[in-house]
Structure 1
Amino acid sequence: MKALAAILNKRGKNAVNMLVSMLNVLGRTGTDTFCIATQDDITLNSSLEKLSIQGIKSSTALGHVFLKVVAADKPKLLQFGKSAFVFDGRVYSPATENLETVLAQKFQAGNVLTAAETLIKEFDGCFAFAMVENGKLVAGRDALGTYPLYYGENSDFFAVASECKALRKIGITRAKSFPPGHVLITDKQSFKIKRVKTPSNPVKSMSVEEAVDKVHRLLLQSTAERTACLDKVAVAFSGGLDSSLTAFLIQKTGIDVHLIHVSLESQIETSQAEEVARLLDLPFNKFLYSVEEVERDLPKILWCVEIPDPLQVSIGIPVFWAAEKAAELGFGVLFAGQGADELFGGYRRYLTLYTRFGEDFAEKAIISDILKMYENNFERDFKVCNYHNIELRLPFASYPLVELAMGLPLNLKIVSKSDMLRKFVLRKTAEKLGLPKQIICKPKKAIQYATGVDKTLKKLAKKHSLSLKRYLVKIFKESFGKTLGGG
């Protein structure tokens, strides 16, 4: 896993040189292999420079930046007839020992578009793909959007890539987030996007016992799928319910679990997280940071999140640190509890909406946030982890679990207008699993506040006599201008 890119030259000219520029941006933080695929051939090389001088020419081309995370990993590229296919990511369900064989069978059974739709319909995972056939480009993204993918065009090119900066490198300045569960089909004249599969489940009445049983079963299933073939993992650990439950579930599979806690210095939540780690009886790795280290890392974090948004940056910083430390400790995979708050009504604002505007309003807000998790959370966290060559895995980002959560009535998430804990059915599930009561009853505190990052960013902005937004925009422009040549 690492990144992919695909490009189509609208004028029918060679696009491979531009694809190489995109791969150069995507592969800056380390890779094992670079791959370029056209409808005529597939070429691989550990050196992008050597790959770029091999004389590959095509108006439509696919690129892959590959990094091995587990021993069985290898580039997933196929070439047959006048078609080529590149796949990046991970399929968790259905389990398959040889994904390449399965993919080949699907492509040989029908046309490229049909095969692309079948992948999205049948696979639950974190992935994106691109393919070329007879000058047409087709791309797709997993149904929840856990794998980041962007698309855009200018007068010369149409392109997709795992990061916006790769599109910006070739002059596409208005990239859009690729809609999850969709496929895109384009040729030299036009493009269209087609919905294939997105989560949807009308709210229905359900007993607490039935809901707990279903959440329990799907969480165990999702964790088992995401830990297959692993012997040790790191967990981004705040000491709250979501990260504790994630670590607890992985521990139940028999895998070696190490907790990684990051924070600014002198935060009370650090000692609380340490106490929770003792309750879980898991190794606790604590890393504390100074204001100066936040300032030092800001350009790199803005490079990852690709937007000077205060909320995105303040959440991205602790994820960046956790991934960095996971890599330093020798881990290839980092688990996190991301998604639980959206699925089970964990944010305080849901309670506020319920209190002020009623049940229907709060339910609609939760569903809206679930459908936007890819833009609000997954893209940021995946790119931040990718910077450190760490693969992010999220047990709560399971398609069956997401659909179940969308159908749960509000009273199973927020019991009443005085329910300050929220996430009722998830806490009952944690109780059934045997998670210690002290953890189950722990109130939520947002990561940017618990780690002290939000306050520190405001302090840094004030030091420069700027608002936080203007301060981040300034660093963002400096970082991207230097690296991408201002383009």
Structure 2
Amino acid sequence: MTIRGTDAETVRDAIENEDPLPGTTGFAGEVDGRLVRDVLGRVPLFVEGGVDEPTPEEWAFSPTDLEEPTAFPAGTVAADGDWTHCWQLPNPDPDTDHERALERVDRAIRTATDATPDGNVAVAFSGGVDSALVAELLDAPLYVAGFPDSHDVEAARTAAEAMGRELTVVELEPDDLERATPTVARAIGRTNAMDVQIALPLFLVAQRVAADGFDALAVGQGADELFGGYEKVARLDHRVEADTVRGAVREQLHTLPAQLPRDVLAIEAGGVDPIAPLLCDAVVDAALRLPTELLVDDEMRKRGLRIVASAYLPESVANREKKAVQYGSLVARELDRLARQAGYKRRMDDHVTKYVRSLLADDAL
């Protein structure tokens, strides 16, 4: 019996009651001969491709431990060749009492941060509301990784100053990306440009945090998906299928099982444990109950989260917009530049991915 993220009894109860949000921060592994992975796929789990009844040697928490790793589906219980989609995300009616809905979110986030295990924890800090709220409630040291002229470094500096906090800046150089890319691509089991660009800053900040003696790195992951942080959700444009904001938010939540293993594996490869308080079950449940007006309006995305955060953060931080990490850190720009310098020109199809794969091949020699 090997389970990560919670205890076996909690998983047994969740299976028996078909409870998708049993009060955890995600789980995966084996319980009573059954393979399980939580409804949002917050803990990575892989099986050998084409295997219906994985033996203990044919499943793993890391893709590097298998020959042909395939992600085990989120929300699934598998035993004796029978794979059952046991858990579905709840779909509660929106709470029209705004004050009650916001209090539920506030209480859930405080419960999640209060439950963070004691120990040496640092925070991956971009200066946006998500990581700032986590940092304030955990009262943990702040770290940001990025190139010296990057948006994330400047935003983190001004936010930390507004919060009266010290900040450690992990200033990146092109050599850092060239060195780290093979390690990151191997750890996450992916070579496509986008995933590697997102994973690199997480890995590099985790590596620095580990070198500074910390055991865990807390992140603000999940807030954009849960609270309506994407422009495409606010606009209901061609990138979403839903015709309502709440429907579009649910669409984004269904992307998490594919995204989160990348982030978890990158941080673990850096030498620390990942902690994502905003993805605990209580926060997910509270976010699912928010009405449209507390998700987005004409002027603001993640409106409910920002209202809650304003009780803890300066207004300039609570209301700040942020860039995606690969762009805010300038990692995407610099990896593209390295690819072109190595002969992988933009006219080539997916030139950065080809460059990543070349680094992996060279590293294997």
TM-score w.r.t. the length of structure 1 is 0.67
Q: Report Cα offsets for 1:383-414 as digits up to 9, x if no partner.
A: 01111231101011111221332232322111
Equivalence for 1:429: 308
Equivalence for 2:145: 262
Q: Which moved more, 1:350-359 or 1:141-150?
A: 350-359
DSSP 3-state at the match of 1:262? strand
DSSP 3-state at the match of 1:126? coil
Equivalence for 1:465: 344
Q: Report Cα offsets for 1:334-376 as digits up to 9, x if no partner.
A: 1000000011111222223269999834432320111221212
Equivalence for 2:159: 276
Query: What is the aligned counterpart of 2:138 among 250, 274, 290?
Result: 250
Q: Report Cα offsets for 1:147-171 as digits up to 9, x if no partner.
A: 1001234589832211223221xxx
Contact 1:310–1:468 at 8 Å: present in 2 too? no
DSSP 3-state at the match of 2:149? coil
Q: Report Cα offsets for 1:36-94 as digits up to 9, x if no partner.
A: xxxxxxxxxxxxxxxxxxxxxxxxxxxxxxxxxxxxxxxxxxxxxxxxx122x333xxx
Equivalence for 1:300: 183
Q: Residue type of the partner of 1:287?
A: V
DSSP 3-state at the match of 2:110? helix
Query: What is the aligned counterpart of 2:280 among 398, 403, 407?
Result: 398
Q: Residue type of the partner of 1:243?
A: S
Q: Residue type of the partner of 1:403?
A: D
DSSP 3-state at the match of 1:286? strand
Distance 1:460 1:362, change over 3 A: farther
DSSP 3-state at the match of 1:360? coil
Equivalence for 2:35: 139
Aligned counterparts, 1:12-411, within 5 A: 85-87=1-3, 89-91=4-6, 103=8, 106=9, 117-118=15-16, 121=19, 122=22, 124-131=24-31, 137-154=33-50, 158=54, 159-168=58-67, 173=68, 175-186=69-80, 191-225=81-115, 227-228=116-117, 230-251=118-139, 257-353=140-236, 360-376=243-259, 378-411=260-293
Query: CA offset at residue 142 of structure 1?
Result: 2.7
Query: CA offset at residue 313 of structure 1?
Result: 1.2
Taking the aligned partners of 1:373 and 1:284, their CA distance within structure 2 comes to 29
Q: Residue type of the partner of 2:350?
A: K
Distance 1:471 1:439, change over 3 A: closer
Q: Residue type of the partner of 1:424?
A: R
Query: CA offset at residue 123 of structure 1?
Result: 5.1
Query: CA offset at residue 445 of structure 1?
Result: 1.5
DSSP 3-state at the match of 2:194? helix
Contact 1:199–1:403 at 8 Å: present in 2 too? no
Q: Structure 1: which 5+ residue stretches go unaligned?
A: 1-84, 92-98, 108-112, 252-256
Contact 1:180–1:198 at 8 Å: present in 2 too? no
Contact 1:234–1:331 at 8 Å: present in 2 too? yes
Distance 1:310 1:120, change over 3 A: farther
Taking the aligned partners of 2:102 and 2:14, their CA distance within structure 1 comes to 35
Taking the aligned partners of 1:321 and 1:424, their CA distance within structure 2 comes to 31
Name the structure, 1 or 2, with higher relative contact order (CA <8 Å, separation 6+).
2
Query: CA offset at residue 282 of structure 1?
Result: 2.5
Equivalence for 1:254: none
Q: Report Cα offsets for 1:209-266 as digits up to 9, x if no partner.
A: 22211110111111111x23x1431000011111101101112xxxxx1101110122
Query: What is the aligned counterpart of 1:441 among 308, 319, 322?
Result: 319
Greater strand share, structure number: 1
Taking the aligned partners of 1:396 and 1:341, their CA distance within structure 2 comes to 10
Query: CA offset at residue 437 of structure 1?
Result: 0.8
Q: Residue type of the partner of 2:353?
A: L
Query: CA offset at residue 116 of structure 1?
Result: 8.0
Contact 1:334–1:391 at 8 Å: present in 2 too? yes
Q: Residue type of the partner of 2:223?
A: A
Q: Residue type of the partner of 1:202?
A: P
Distance 1:438 1:399, change over 3 A: same
DSSP 3-state at the match of 2:141? strand
DSSP 3-state at the match of 2:297? coil
Distance 1:206 1:301, change over 3 A: same
Query: CA offset at residue 430 of structure 1?
Result: 0.8
User: Size of the alignment, in residue pairs?
Assistant: 357
RMSD (Å) for aligned C-alpha atoms: 2.9
Taking the aligned partners of 2:240 and 2:85, their CA distance within structure 1 comes to 32
DSSP 3-state at the match of 1:176? strand
Equivalence for 1:3: none
Q: Which moved more, 1:322-331 or 1:436-445?
A: 436-445
Query: CA offset at residue 304 of structure 1?
Result: 1.8
Query: CA offset at residue 176 of structure 1?
Result: 2.8
Taking the aligned partners of 1:356 and 1:380, their CA distance within structure 2 comes to 22
